[in-house]
Amino acid sequence: MTTLTIAAAQFAPVDDTEANLATVTTAARDAAARGADLLVTPEYTSYFTADIDDDFVAAAQPLDGPFVSGLREVARETGIALVVGVAEVSDRPDRFRNTLVAVDAAGEVRCVYRKVHLYDAFGSRESDRIEPGGAEQLPVFDVDGVRIGLETCYDLRFPEVTRRLAAPETGAADLVLVPAEWVRGPGKEHHWHTLLTARAIENTIWVLGVGQAPPVGIGGSVLLDPSGVATTALGAAPGLLVGSVDTGVTDSVRRVNPSLSLRRYDVTTRWDRTRWDRTR
């Protein structure tokens, strides 16, 4: 049995990377003071505007740039790990990458995940400015004995993403993090909570959803246990969620509901980058 105290910083990032880094710094200090081992922030933490346009591309930074370097300093200062959404430069001059960066408490980058499923839905087209990550990625890393998997926002609508992170023969994650900028709209709060809960129940896994606060996002950050019960949650307002992940609870749930071991299907990748670029 292993326990891990985790925090989620729910806020609305702005179009100023230095200001956003200052917000992360304050949240990390608060999280550390409240005993957290890990702080998670929303999608697009480094830079955000309501319109994903050329300004996003211009604001993107490499992973050895000042924003991620600042995250590494914050981790070293506070002694906690960080998972933060970053606008990362792409090899293509008209694109950027929607990236999650995991930094350990010593300030070392432990895992990088580039969003696979771009948000070309509900009137949005992330693919106009974002380079997708490859489906072969398996972003799982360890914090104090707890295996943590990563996915981003629209990925949540594809259950095979979480299944691949959770399945013992692939990711074997104990906890899945879902940083998001879940856009407001009719029924969107219902979608967010339903999908997060489903991913927890069907995989008997801990799930932490971390949303941007309004005016664009819905907030709604929540930590769900492996039976889908919300152990701590926030509303729409900015705030810091702190909760604990206990793998002993996972073991108990899986003894009652061994759904992962009873599966009759595997998850395989379905990906052709050339075709993806050509059809968009």
Question: Could you confirm whether 88 is annotated as catalytic?
Answer: no
- Name the catalytic one among 43, 88, 126, 131: 43
What one-character DSSP code corresponds to residue 53? S
Q: Are 61 and 20 in contact (CB under 8 A)?
A: no
Question: Could you confirm whether 188 is annotated as catalytic?
Answer: no
Q: Are 56 and 100 in contact (CB under 8 A)?
A: no
Other beta carbons less than 10 A from residue 165's beta carbon: 27
Question: Could you confirm whether 111 is annotated as catalytic?
Answer: no
Task: Identify which of 1, 280, 6 has the alpha carbon closest to the alpha carbon of residue 143.
Answer: 6
Instruction: Tell me the sheet residues that pair with 157.
Output: none
DSSP 226-238: TTS-EEEE--SS-
CA 258 → CA 94, 175, 265, distances in Å?
A: 46, 17, 15
CA 208 – CA 203 distance, rounded (Å): 13
Other beta carbons less than 10 A from residue 73's beta carbon: 14
Residue 205: CB partners within 8 Å, gap ≥ 6?
Answer: 162, 166, 173, 174, 175, 176, 199, 226, 250
- Name the catalytic one among 126, 131, 153, 181: 153
Residue 164: CB partners within 8 Å, gap ≥ 6?
Answer: 138, 170, 171, 267
Residue 256: CB partners within 8 Å, gap ≥ 6?
Answer: none
CA 110 – CA 43 distance, rounded (Å): 18
- Name the catalytic one among 88, 111, 115, 181: 115
Q: Are 209 and 192 in contact (CB under 8 A)?
A: yes
- Which residues does the annotation mark as catalytic? 43, 115, 153
